Structure 1
Amino acid sequence: MKYLILILLFTSSQFLRADEGMYLPFQLKTYAKSMKAAGLQLSYKDIYNTKKPSVKDAIVSLGGFCTGEIISPKGLMLTNHHCGYDAIRENSTPENDYLTDGFWAENYAAEKPIPGLTISIVVNTIDVTKSIAEVLTDDMDEATRNAMIREMSDKLSNEAILGTHYSAEVKPFYGGNEFYLFVYEIFEDVRLAGAPPSSIGKYGGDTDNWMWERHTGDFSLFRIYAGADNKPAPYSVDNKPYAPKHYLPISIKGIAEEDFAMVMGFPGSTDRFLTSYGVKMAIEKDQPSRVKIRGKKLDIMKADMNKDAATRIKYASTYAQVSNYWKYFIGQTEQLKNNKVFEKKQTIEKDFSNWVNAKSKRQEKYGNVISDIDQAYDKLKVVNDLQVYFFESVYSIGLNKFLIQHTGLYNQLKAEKLDEAAISKSAEGLEKQKEEFFKTFNAETEESLIAAMLEMYYNNVPKDQHGEKIEALHKEYNGDWKKFANDAVKNSVFTSEKRYSAFIANPTKTILENEILFMLNQDLLDQFRKYNYGPETQMAQAQLNKANRLFIDGLRQMNKKTKYYPDANFSLRLSFGNILPYTSIEGKTYPYYTTIDGLMAKEDPTNDEFIVPAKLKELYEAKDYGRYAKDGNLWVNFISNNDITGGNSGSPVMNANGELIGCAFDGNWEAMSGDIAFEKNFQRTISVDIRYVLFIIDKCAGANNLIDEMTIIE
Structure 2
Amino acid sequence: MLALLAPAAARADEGMWLPLLLKQLNEADMQRKGLKLTAEDIYSVNRGSLKDAVVQFGGGCTGEIVSNEGLMLTNHHCGYGQIQQHSSVENDYLTNGYWAMTREQELPNPGLTATFIVRMEDVTGQVLQGIPAGMAEAERERTVQQRSAQVAQKAVEGTHYRAFVRPMFGGNEYYLFVTEVFEDIRLVGAPPSSIGKFGGDTDNWAWPRHTGDFSIFRIYAGPDNKPAPYSTSNKPYQPRHYLPISLGGVQPGDFTLVFGFPGRTTEYLTSWGVDEVYAASDPARVKVRDAKLRILDEDMKASDKVRIQYAAKYASLANYWKKWIGEMRGLKRLNATARKQQQEQQFRAWVAAGDATRQAAYGQILDQLEQQYRLVRPYVLARDYTTEAALGVELVAYANSLQNLIDLIQNKAPQAELATAIGKARTGTSNFFRNYSAPTDQKVAAALLPLYTDGTPAELLPDYVKNLRKQNANAAAWTRFAADLYTRSKLTSNESAQKVLDELAKGNAQPLLQDPAYQLASAVVSTYRSKVLPVYSTATDQITLLQRTYMAGLRQWQPERKFYPDANSTLRVAYGQVAGYEPADGVQYEYYTTLDGIMEKADPTNPEFEVPPRLAELYQNKDFGPYAVNGTVPVAFTATNHTTGGNSGSPVINGRGELIGINFDRNWEGTMSDIMYDPDRVRNITLDVRYMLFVVDKYAGAGHLVKEMKLVNVPGQAGSASGASDQKIKKQKVKVKRKKAEAN
TM bucket normalised to smaller: over 0.9
Q: How does 1:176-255 map to 2 (within 5 A)?
A: 176-255=171-250
Q: Secondary structure at the match of 2:491?
A: helix
In structure 2, what is the Cα distance between the partners aligned to 1:106 and 1:435?
Answer: 32
CA drift of 1:352 comes to: 0.8
Q: Secondary structure at the match of 1:83?
A: coil
CA drift of 1:487 comes to: 2.6
CA drift of 1:583 comes to: 2.4
In structure 1, what is the Cα distance between the partners aligned to 2:57 and 2:246?
Answer: 23
Q: Retained in 1: the 8 A contact 2:152–2:165? A: yes
Q: Retained in 2: the 8 A contact 1:70–1:76? A: yes
In structure 2, what is the Cα distance between the partners aligned to 1:25 and 1:552?
Answer: 21
- Of 370, 377, 384, which aligns to 2:373? 377
CA drift of 1:428 comes to: 1.3
Q: Secondary structure at the match of 1:637?
A: strand
Worse overlay, 327-336 or 460-469: 460-469
Partner residue in 1 for 2:697: 698
Worse overlay, 203-212 or 290-299: 203-212
Q: Retained in 1: the 8 A contact 2:254–2:577? A: yes
CA drift of 1:184 comes to: 0.7
AA paired with 1:554?
G
In structure 1, what is the Cα distance between the partners aligned to 2:584 and 2:357?
Answer: 42
Partner residue in 1 for 2:632: 633
Partner residue in 1 for 2:619: 620
AA paired with 1:165?
H
Partner residue in 2 for 1:483: 480
AA paired with 1:406?
L
AA paired with 2:478?
W
CA drift of 1:585 comes to: 4.8
CA drift of 1:541 comes to: 1.8
Deviation per CA, 1:663-693: give whole Å up to 9, x if none: 0011112222111011112211100100000
In structure 1, what is the Cα distance between the partners aligned to 2:558 and 2:422?
Answer: 56
Q: Retained in 2: the 8 A contact 1:17–1:578? A: no
Q: How does 1:260-409 map to 2 (within 5 A)?
A: 260-359=255-354, 360-409=356-405
In structure 2, what is the Cα distance between the partners aligned to 1:171 and 1:559?
Answer: 24
Q: Retained in 1: the 8 A contact 2:169–2:566? A: yes
Partner residue in 2 for 1:509: 509
Q: How does 1:96-245 map to 2 (within 5 A)?
A: 96-245=91-240
Partner residue in 2 for 1:572: 571
AA paired with 1:493?
K
AA paired with 1:20?
E
AA paired with 1:372?
Q
Deviation per CA, 1:232-274: give whole Å up to 9, x if none: 1111122111111111111112221211111100000111001
Q: Retained in 1: the 8 A contact 2:396–2:520? A: no
Deviation per CA, 1:524-553: give whole Å up to 9, x if none: 00111123322x433322221111111111
Partner residue in 2 for 1:21: 15
CA drift of 1:474 comes to: 4.3
Worse overlay, 264-273 or 130-139: 130-139
In structure 2, what is the Cα distance between the partners aligned to 1:188 and 1:419?
Answer: 33
Worse overlay, 639-648 or 489-498: 489-498
Q: Retained in 2: the 8 A contact 1:126–1:180? A: yes
Partner residue in 2 for 1:529: 529
In structure 2, what is the Cα distance between the partners aligned to 1:18 and 1:657?
Answer: 21
CA drift of 1:77 comes to: 0.6
Structure 2 CA distance for partners of 1:173 and 1:216, relative to 1, 3 Å? same
Deviation per CA, 1:61-81: give whole Å up to 9, x if none: 011200000111111110011
Q: Retained in 2: the 8 A contact 1:18–1:578? A: no
In structure 1, what is the Cα distance between the partners aligned to 2:590 and 2:685?
Answer: 12
Structure 2 CA distance for partners of 1:17 and 1:627, relative to 1, 3 Å? farther
In structure 2, what is the Cα distance between the partners aligned to 1:405 and 1:325?
Answer: 24
Partner residue in 2 for 1:433: 428
Q: Retained in 1: the 8 A contact 2:11–2:679? A: no
Deviation per CA, 1:115-163: give whole Å up to 9, x if none: 1111111011110101112041112010111011011001001101100
Partner residue in 2 for 1:47: 42
AA paired with 2:16?
M
CA drift of 1:431 comes to: 1.6
Q: Secondary structure at the match of 1:433?
A: helix
Structure 2 CA distance for partners of 1:712 and 1:129, relative to 1, 3 Å? same
Aligned residues: 698
AA paired with 2:13?
D
In structure 2, what is the Cα distance between the partners aligned to 1:506 and 1:306?
Answer: 38
In structure 1, what is the Cα distance between the partners aligned to 2:469 and 2:311?
Answer: 32
Q: Retained in 1: the 8 A contact 2:450–2:469? A: no
In structure 1, what is the Cα distance between the partners aligned to 2:652 and 2:633?
Answer: 18
CA drift of 1:414 comes to: 2.0
Worse overlay, 438-447 or 457-466: 457-466
The percentage of counterpart residues that share the same residue type is 43
In structure 2, what is the Cα distance between the partners aligned to 1:219 and 1:399?
Answer: 33
Q: Secondary structure at the match of 2:77?
A: helix
CA drift of 1:492 comes to: 3.1
Partner residue in 2 for 1:664: 663
Q: Secondary structure at the match of 2:608?
A: coil
AA paired with 1:701?
A
Q: Tell me whether 1:78 sits opposite 2:73 in the alignment.
A: yes
In structure 1, what is the Cα distance between the partners aligned to 2:536 and 2:397?
Answer: 24
Structure 2 CA distance for partners of 1:600 and 1:512, relative to 1, 3 Å? same
CA drift of 1:55 comes to: 0.7
Partner residue in 2 for 1:412: 408
Structure 2 CA distance for partners of 1:477 and 1:423, relative to 1, 3 Å? farther
Q: Retained in 2: the 8 A contact 1:466–1:527? A: yes
CA drift of 1:211 comes to: 1.1
AA paired with 1:591?
E
In structure 2, what is the Cα distance between the partners aligned to 1:181 and 1:325?
Answer: 30
Q: Retained in 1: the 8 A contact 2:392–2:448? A: no
Q: Tell me whether 1:455 sits opposite 2:450 in the alignment.
A: yes
Deviation per CA, 1:257-309: give whole Å up to 9, x if none: 21111110000011100111111111211111111100000011011111110
Unaligned runs of 5+ in 1: 1-14
In structure 2, what is the Cα distance between the partners aligned to 1:227 and 1:206?
Answer: 40
Q: Secondary structure at the match of 1:584?
A: strand
In structure 2, what is the Cα distance between the partners aligned to 1:606 and 1:197?
Answer: 17
In structure 1, what is the Cα distance between the partners aligned to 2:591 and 2:543?
Answer: 41
AA paired with 1:502?
K
CA drift of 1:478 comes to: 6.8
Deviation per CA, 1:539-592: give whole Å up to 9, x if none: 322221111111111111111110000000000000111111222352422111
TM-score (norm 2): 0.92
AA paired with 2:379?
V
Q: Retained in 1: the 8 A contact 2:380–2:536? A: no
Deviation per CA, 1:81-117: give whole Å up to 9, x if none: 1111111111111111111111111112111111111
Deviation per CA, 1:338-378: give whole Å up to 9, x if none: 11111211111111111111122111001111101100111
Unaligned runs of 5+ in 2: 1-8, 715-744
Q: Tell me whether 1:443 sits opposite 2:403 in the alignment.
A: no
Q: Secondary structure at the match of 1:645?
A: coil
Partner residue in 2 for 1:257: 252
In structure 2, what is the Cα distance between the partners aligned to 1:607 and 1:130?
Answer: 58
Q: Retained in 2: the 8 A contact 1:47–1:55? A: yes
Partner residue in 2 for 1:605: 604
Q: Retained in 2: the 8 A contact 1:68–1:652? A: yes
Q: Retained in 2: the 8 A contact 1:469–1:520? A: yes
Partner residue in 1 for 2:89: 94
AA paired with 2:312?
S
Q: Secondary structure at the match of 1:20?
A: coil
CA drift of 1:635 comes to: 0.6
